[in-house]
């Protein structure tokens, strides 16, 4: 007798649930379930560190490796994703590698925060304008845009076989010098961050995606990127609880996120315990290794009963100070359930090396961790995997039409544009001639297309890639308007992908004019009042430097976009499109500055 499809799904979920629960109470826990690794690159030969061959199809070697060690999860990067069909095939093959051996399903995760940190290509899932843009709409729209964006993201991720999103960012960005969070945060108000974060977590999980809030206990007030160093936050205990941890506490209580991701940051007023590093130095324990922070505060004080996952253990904040096996032991001893990217698999030789690393780690963990801790951790993982299967079949399935998604992209970009005080209304005319200084040629192309679509064709644009390209002021008299595009801070490793990109990132930074030179040039223009009266200052990313400039001078108008992305093929940009409409139609921006 044929059973309805829904009954088959229910029976399958029940079978897997029983399998997982039995697994979670085994006497010999499986380390593989506590690991999440990347499969960004894989080469059949060569040197691991030099391998840059993207994994878009699952190689036999990786399939067998996943099965042998019953790895619990993988994280995908942009290199793994080219088209919808290709991504669906990849995630299906990943899950089949587990189901074929009747092992628990994989967590398949991605960093799809939106804005500049988005791994899926635009034609698969638009990145929207990012978290700070959402923060800029809060005063006028509350959490409406946050819920709408999360719903689209969840539906698209789930339909492509992804079940975990490392988002939203709950860091309260209170430091203008923060090189890595800035526009990835909703803003500087802990209450706003908490409300928008709760809305996104609920929406993700109502639509079948497990949400991971990050970076606990807070990465918002740092001047060091934990990809390249080890930051320290010296806030008092009361400030930590009221500012840094407050959004996490609210979201844990009101939205029950599946995951919390740790931060590689020292918080001496939460835990000043010292650890010895590879070179014999003694340093304050980072939160990722702190039992006082992960267990006493996160588990006991905040009552979080989901999965604690470390941030990537290959980041310099950890890897520069600790060997990979020691990092693994430290984060598990502190209370993490899953270690993210503790070991890189790039070649068949890496798989061979992984075997001895894995065996040694399992032996060391069995000696250091109590059986009850193992069981509790594996039970949390099993619980979320059962929830993942249940949510997949009960999630809202009514897909948002592509036209509706495009409209949402444009509406968010327009609603988030913020005019700083003193800005005057601008209405460009078709015959006006414009001169623009933008961060690079791609931004010039994006601005040129956006203005051209609004009937403005007389634009000369230069980039600040080279100091020699900056013109002298007397050459600007012939233009009706000057547009200055300010982009700060510099791009970070997480925006490019991660630690595999650090070398390329340094080379890219070295090719640009220094931030000091660009700032001096813009200041020289704006302190010339005749030029300032014709200058439109545009903050393409974080608002802090632009705010600094307008504190000293008064341009004709100053607009904040929070999003500098331009499609490299079509040169389209939702944020520059919104700017061009504002400039040609005399519109009044409705966004509100979301940071102090």
Rounded CA separation 578/570 (Å) = 16
180 SS3 class: coil
The dihedral of CA 316, 318, 323, 325: what is its sign? Answer: negative
**Looking at the DSSP assignment, which residues form a beta bridge with residue 117?**
114
301 SS3 class: helix
311 is catalytic: yes
What are the angstrom distances between the C-alpha of 536 and each of 129, 319, 539, 557?
A: 21, 44, 10, 5
Both tokens of 238, joined, read 């009361």
What are the angstrom distances between the C-alpha of 99 and each of 96, 143, 160, 293, 342?
A: 5, 39, 18, 36, 24
How far, in whole angstroms, is CA 413 from its chain's centroid?
18
In 323-381, DSSP assigns E strands to 339-340
Nearest to 167 by CA among 133, 129, 141, 131: 131
Q: Give the gyration radius of the chain's Cα atoms.
A: 25
Both tokens of 98, joined, read 């587990």
Q: Is the peptide bond before 480 cis (omega within 30 degrees of 0)?
A: no
What are the angstrom distances between the C-alpha of 129 and each of 24, 116, 445, 571, 577?
A: 41, 8, 19, 16, 12
Rounded CA separation 204/209 (Å) = 5
The dihedral of CA 528, 529, 532, 534: what is its sign? Answer: negative
Please tell me which residue in 311, 314, 337, 563 is annotated as part of the active site: 311
Are the beta carbons of 122 and 568 closer than 8 angstroms? no
Q: Please give the positions annotated as active site.
A: 311
């Amino acid at each position: 007798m044929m059973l309805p499809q829904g009954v088959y799904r229910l029976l399958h979920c029940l079978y897997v649930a029983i399998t997982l629960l039995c697994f979670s109470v085994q006497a010999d826990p499986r380390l593989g379930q506590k690991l999440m690794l990347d499969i960004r690159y894989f080469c059949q030969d060569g040197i691991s560190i030099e391998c840059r061959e993207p994994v878009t199809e699952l190689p036999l070697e990786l399939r067998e490796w996943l099965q042998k060690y019953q790895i619990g999860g993988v994280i995908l990067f942009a290199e793994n994703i080219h088209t919808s069909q290709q991504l669906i095939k990849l995630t299906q093959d990943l899950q089949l590698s587990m189901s074929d051996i009747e092992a628990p399903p994989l967590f398949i995760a991605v960093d799809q925060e939106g804005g500049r940190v988005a791994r899926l290509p635009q034609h698969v899932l638009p990145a929207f304008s990012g978290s700070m843009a959402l923060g800029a709409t809060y005063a006028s729209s509350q959490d409406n845009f946050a819920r709408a964006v999360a719903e689209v993201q969840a539906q698209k991720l789930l339909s492509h076989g992804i079940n975990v999103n490392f988002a939203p960012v709950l860091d309260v960005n209170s430091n203008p010098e923060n090189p890595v969070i800035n526009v990835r945060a909703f803003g500087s108000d802990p209450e706003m961050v908490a409300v928008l974060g709760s809305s996104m977590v609920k929406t993700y999980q109502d639509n079948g995606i497990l949400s991971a809030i990050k970076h606990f206990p807070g990465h918002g007030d740092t001047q060091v990127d934990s990809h390249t160093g080890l930051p320290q936050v010296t806030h008092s205990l009361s400030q930590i609880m009221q500012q840094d941890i407050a959004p996490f506490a609210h979201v844990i209580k009101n939205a029950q996120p599946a995951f919390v991701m740790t931060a590689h940051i020292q918080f001496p007023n939460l835990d000043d315990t010292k650890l010895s590093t590879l070179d014999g130095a003694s340093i304050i324990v980072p939160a990722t290794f702190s039992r006082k922070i992960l267990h006493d505060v996160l588990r006991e004080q905040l009552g979080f009963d989901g999965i604690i996952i470390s941030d990537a253990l290959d980041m310099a904040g950890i890897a520069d100070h600790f060997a990979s096996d020691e990092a693994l032991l430290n984060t598990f001893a502190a209370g993490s359930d899953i270690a993210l990217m503790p070991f890189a698999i790039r070649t068949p030789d890496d798989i061979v090396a992984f075997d001895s690393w894995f065996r040694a780690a399992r032996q060391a963990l069995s000696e250091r961790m109590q059986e009850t801790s193992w069981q509790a951790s594996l039970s949390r993982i099993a619980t979320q995997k059962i929830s993942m299967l249940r949510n997949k079949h009960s999630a809202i399935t009514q897909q948002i039409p592509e036209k509706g998604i495009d409209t949402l992209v444009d509406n968010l970009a327009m609603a988030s544009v913020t005019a700083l005080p003193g800005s005057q209304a601008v209405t460009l005319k078709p015959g006006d001639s414009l001169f623009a200084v933008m961060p690079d040629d791609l931004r010039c192309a994006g601005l040129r297309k956006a203005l051209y679509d609004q009937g403005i064709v007389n634009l000369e644009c230069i980039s600040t890639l080279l100091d020699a390209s900056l013109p002298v002021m007397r050459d600007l008299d012939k233009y009706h308007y000057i547009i200055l595009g300010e982009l700060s801070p510099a791009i970070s490793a997480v925006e490019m992908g991660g630690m595999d990109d650090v070398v390329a990132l340094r080379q890219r930074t070295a090719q640009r004019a220094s931030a000091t030179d660009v700032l001096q040039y813009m200041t020289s223009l704006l302190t010339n009042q005749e030029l300032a009266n014709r200058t439109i200052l545009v903050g393409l990313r974080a608002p802090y430097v632009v705010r600094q400039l307008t504190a000293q001078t008064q341009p004709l108008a100053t607009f904040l976009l929070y999003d500098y992305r331009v499609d490299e093929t079509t040169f389209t940009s939702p944020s520059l499109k919104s700017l061009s409409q504002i400039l040609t139609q005399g519109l009044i921006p409705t966004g509100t500055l979301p940071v102090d």
